[in-house]
Structure formats: C-alpha cells, structure tokens
Structure 1
Amino acid sequence: MKDLYLKLPHVKLISALQLLLISLVFSGLATFLKPHAHFAKNESNFEENIPRVINDWMEIQQSAPQVSMVSDEKSLINQLYDDTLMRTYVNKDGQQVMVALAYAKEQRQDVKIHQPDICYPAQGYQMLKSKEKVFSNLSKSTQVIGKQQLYYGQNHLEAVSYWIRVGDRTMTSGLQMRSKIIEDGLLKGRLDDGILVRVSSAISDEAKASEAYALQERFIKEFVLAVEQKSPGLLVP
C-alpha cells in the first residue's frame, strides 16, 4: 500500500512544489548571502590569462562562428557571464579545436550556466549522441565529469567535449547544478562561482568522432595545465 501511495501523481506534485518552494526561498535569501572566496583563486580575465600559445598549439583566426553559450536571444551573454572566450587553436599537424569558456562569479537559481545540451538544439543543431565522460588527470582533488556529444547542424557534424564546474564540483545536468546551488546557499551561506569549459571540432564523417574526442582530450590536458598555472581553480576543482 505504501509503495502504491508513493507512485500517486499528487505525491510527485508535492515533491515538485517542495523543490520550487526551496528554490524560491533561496532566491530570496541570495540577495543577503555573503559569497565566500570564489573557488577560482584569481579574478577572471580571459584575454590576458588564457595563453594564445600552448606547447605546439597556437591560436588562429576563427574561420566560422562558434555556437553561442546562451540558449536564446533574450539571454544576453553579458547578463549571464562575467567573462567569456571563444578561440580556435591549431597544432603543428594542422589539426584544429575550438574552445569556448563562460565564467560567472555567482551561480543562482535565476542565473546559471547554460548547458550545450540546450544551447546547441536551440540554435538548430540536432543531438545525435551524448554520454557522460570522466576527463582523467585534470584535477588532483576530484574527478572532472562532463559529456562527449555529437551534433549535426549548419551543414556539418560537430564533436563536443565539455564540463561545468560549480564551486568545488563538476556537473552534468541542470538538476545537479540547481541542487548544488541550493545546498551551498542554504547550508553554507555562499554563492558559488561557475564555468563552462567546452572544446569542439567540426568533422566530416561520424566515423571521425572517436578521433576527434581523442584529439580533444590531448588538447584539454595541455590547456588545463597551462591555464591552471596562472589561474588555479578556474577550470577544474
């Protein structure tokens, strides 16, 4: 009988209302919370702190615009994020990767990082594949968990690797971000900072996806190591 009761629709509704109430309470408290020191040790200044040359990788002029880091035209980038960056890097073999960073000093219920899962489809891309990915050897303190995805749009395929750091953890869903924001706000009295780290490659064939992800992983390790030397805690926990 208890199991049957738990499956009833009104019970799910109550749970949803409870979550909404907590979110609203936290949103009201957010104004009065004093943020702790951001997990990123230095204030972000991507143009100065993100190297343009990393080992045998060098920034080049982008040949095509990248997918935006917001999900709709009403969500202005400068209203959501305190710093953003989009670059393309090429190595000595002519292989290219695109990098997109979006940093926000305060993650709140009404202002939080937009996931590629939403931004790509909102801009006309179709998600073909998506899986969780542990990016190894990036952080000494915890796992960096994100996603590898494949999209089709604008007459090309795009392989995407990304993670989102909120405070001292990486997130793979909007629910996880919301729970983390509520947890740290109510229990610790702080507003976390957060960042989206996205690396992508245009590919000609779906069979090239594995090769693209392997290239991205090699680039990511070098990129994170170089950035974290100047800005510890910015990209990874």
Structure 2
Amino acid sequence: MVALMVLAAAAGEWLRPTYRLAEHKPAIKLEQQVPEAFGEWRLDRSVAPVVPDPGLQAMLDALYSQTLARTYINAKGERVMLSIAYGSDQSNEATAVHRPEFCYSAQGFRVKTLESSRLTIDNTSVPVARLVGQLGRRVEPITYWVTLDEAATLPGFGRKLQQIRYGLMGQIPDGMLVRVSSISTSNDEAFAMQQRFLEQMYAAVPAEVRTRYFGAGKAS
C-alpha cells in the first residue's frame, strides 16, 4: 500500500505541467498593447477609475499579473468601459473571482445572463457571454470572454476542457478576461456599440499578440 501511494505521488508530480507558455511568447503588456486612442475612441480622462475595496484589490493582485481598467469616449459622447485582467498561470479556477457574474454581484448589482454568442471580427470568431447588470437605475449591458493562451472560450465546461488539453501537453497557459460594458437601457444598441468598439480595438492591438487577446478561432 505504501509503495502504491509513493508511486501515485511520483506519477502526480511527473504529470504536473511545468512548461509556462508565457515565458516562451511575446510578453503581454496591457498598458502598451491597448492604445489610449484607436479608431473613433480615445481615453476619457474625465472619468476617474473605480478603485476596488482593499480586500478585492488584494485578491486581484494575488490572482493576476496585470489589470487594465479604462473608459473610452467617441465624438458622439458615447462611452465604453474596458476591463482586462491578465494572469501568467491560468491552470486552475482561482481567477473565476473576476467574472462579471461574481464581481458585479459583489458590488450590489443584480446580474442577468442573456446569452452566449459569437463575435466575428476580421475572420476571427470569439465566443462571448452577454449579461446585464443593474444597480438602482443604472443599467449596464456587458460583453466578455476569457482566453487560455491563444484559445478564446467561456468560463465553465469549455474553459475546463482547454485547461485539461494544455495540462495533458505539460503546459501552463497564460490568459486573460476581457470585458466591455456601457450604460444603456437599450441592450441592442449597447451590444452593437460594443461590437464596433471591439472591432476597432482588434485592429489596434499589435498583430504578434492579437490572438492572446481575441483567440485564434476562425470564423466559418
């Protein structure tokens, strides 16, 4: 019995992924790779970034290597809020804390899941989740997805399958959660504007790291 336990422990250690993909690819630098101005959008400096409470900030710092939170505005005065959280090790479920379903609820929002959909951007197909958060009279349609290395997916079963796939190859994937939202009582108008924003952001992100943000899925 002892021998079997030793063998099982040794096998578990041998099968543990050790190859960190982030160390063998172009570095992710959110602040530099996501421009402050692109397409019709520019950084809205009149909006102060929302500072999480110290407990949540400490948790984010422990889970992610980098985070980016910006509000963009266009000439029409339309605003889109962008949030990206990047981690060099996405081999477990700890980063689920940053999912909008959880972090918005923690701030008092009622969150309703509308649908899972796909964005097609320049022949790239990105699976996305669409939600609506509401806090009092504030209504905030939300679009988001997650990536593991160059695979865009959604949290849950799809993400777990990707984690297993990388694990079987002995690899530790990096990845990110990309979220855009806007304040609007019209879901259709908000999601159309978010699509436009993401198309222009896609074109602005450097080509050598673009699949790390949007995945490499090809539109059929």
Normalised to the residue count of structure 1, the TM-score between the two structures is 0.74
Equivalent position of 1:202 in the other structure: 183
SS in 1 for 2:21: coil
Residue by residue, what CA displacement relative to the aligned partner does 1:112-132 show, whole Å, maximum 9, x if unpaired?
343212221222111234211
Alignment of 1:73-112 (within 5 A): 73=56, 76-109=59-92, 111-112=94-95
Does the 8 A contact of 2:130 with 2:144 survive in 1? Answer: yes
Equivalent position of 1:163 in the other structure: 145
Equivalent position of 1:224 in the other structure: 202
Shift in Å, 1:168: 3.1
How many percent identity over aligned positions?
A: 27
Shift in Å, 1:107: 0.8
* Unpaired segments ≥5 residues, structure 2: 1-8, 216-220
Distance 2:79 2:214 in 1: 23
Shift in Å, 1:40: 9.2
Distance 1:232 1:41, change over 3 A: farther
1:125 and 2:109 are equivalent in the alignment: yes
The amino acid that maps onto 1:103 is: Y
Number of residue pairs aligned between Structure 1 and Structure 2: 202
Alignment of 1:1-237 (within 5 A): 29=13, 33-38=17-22, 41-61=25-45, 63=47, 65-66=49-50, 73=56, 76-109=59-92, 111-113=94-96, 114-138=98-122, 140=124, 143-153=125-135, 155-185=137-167, 187-203=168-184, 205=185, 208-229=186-207, 231-237=209-215
Q: Which is strand-richer, 1 or 2?
A: 2
* Unpaired segments ≥5 residues, structure 1: 1-24
Distance 1:199 1:170, change over 3 A: same
Distance 1:30 1:161 in 2: 39
The amino acid that maps onto 1:80 is: L
SS in 2 for 1:235: helix
Shift in Å, 1:224: 1.4
Residue by residue, what CA displacement relative to the aligned partner does 1:167-216 show, whole Å, maximum 9, x if unpaired?
2322223333233212311x20001111111000012x3xx111011000
RMSD of Structure 2 on Structure 1 (CA): 2.8
The amino acid that maps onto 1:194 is: G
Distance 1:65 1:74 in 2: 13
Shift in Å, 1:44: 1.7
Distance 2:94 2:31 in 1: 23
SS in 2 for 1:42: coil
Does the 8 A contact of 1:39 with 1:234 survive in 2? Answer: no
